A and B are shown apart, each in its own frame.
Chain A
Amino acid sequence: MSNPDPQIPQLPSSLSLIQKLGAVALISGLLVAMVYEYTKPMIADNQRVALEAALYNVLPASASSRLTFRLEDDQLTLVPDDTPNEGDLIYAGYDNEHKLVGIALTAAAQGYQDTVKILYAYDPYSSCIKDFVVLKSTETPGFGDKIATDESFLKNFECLDAKVNEDQSALAHAIKTVRHGTKKNPWEIDAIAGATITSNAVGRMLDKSGQLFHPAIAQNLNLLENAQRSTQP
């Protein structure tokens, strides 16, 4: 009577299940680590090429050399050109005479589908945002992706006012996107009809980036202007 029913199969012990799950996880981990190590330099190379292409398009044609700075607590420090950008880097372009000719900055904000990331040109002398290149976007084809092609939208960036206030603590006027056809001020962005969410994202990201970087650039303009000369032997 006390004998167990021979029909009921013996369940494996919890320890055996954990061991087997651990073994499969170990195989998986090894595979991921191997492929990660193999593809890491290729991915870094692709990202560097994409950034170089974007910088080439955004910085003025007269820029023949470039320096990269990191912003930390309103201070700029020179870093190597291949430093990974975590949203805290400033790319300064210099002409043949080591004169500062333009600055490129990254900005990102949540769009309609996912985060939209751009690289934009900022002229510290005229305080204008002049151009931008989309680095990452998965916005709706035919609508959200028009931010890179719509001519009337790109006209906003002939000279979008992004000057800093007198005490160099923030932007004088917050950059904002307004409804299509209602732009009145040079710091406003005229939205694309039918792609309002992505247009708003561009306004938000430029304002956020401008509030962070532009005052620091204004405070450290001398450092930026003389950096190329001081790095020359």
Chain B
Amino acid sequence: MPLEPLKFSTDAADIILTRIRFRANPMAVRSALEYARQSWHGAGVDPGICSTGEQVLAEVLNNVVEHAQAGRPEGQIELDTRLGNDGVICAVRDDGAEMPDQQLPLGKLHDLTMTLNDLPEGGFGWYIIHTLTKDLCYERKNGWNRLEFRITQDHDPLP
């Protein structure tokens, strides 16, 4: 199945940074992140955007492995990143289960005024994704999930 065109990327001047397909397991995610990091740095992407991008992509890809593709190590993930004039545009596609209600999960920060034993050990991922990205959108089409977002410098709350 060919890669679909990016929703935001209509500009022919966009530079393709990564276009890869890999299996849905944690070690493959590590390799994909390493590959993306090198290609972004190699293309001269701003170091802050590189660092934020790696954080966000890690959260997105972990979610795919742990939820959409849970128990399906043969499941596929595609990562497409491009350098536009306003930061990096990222698209992640996978052929796993759809999001609950075909909706993006809300990224809410936990109330931390609680006792030690009630401290959250998870659920930070979507909060990080929502906080560090711009134009986050989700679509389910032909049995594939597609998440798309931008990483821009001016959108980082803690640069």
**Do A and B make up one complex?**
no
Binding site for B on A (CB under 8 A): none
Could you list which residues of chain B lie within 8 angstroms of chain A, going by C-beta atoms? none
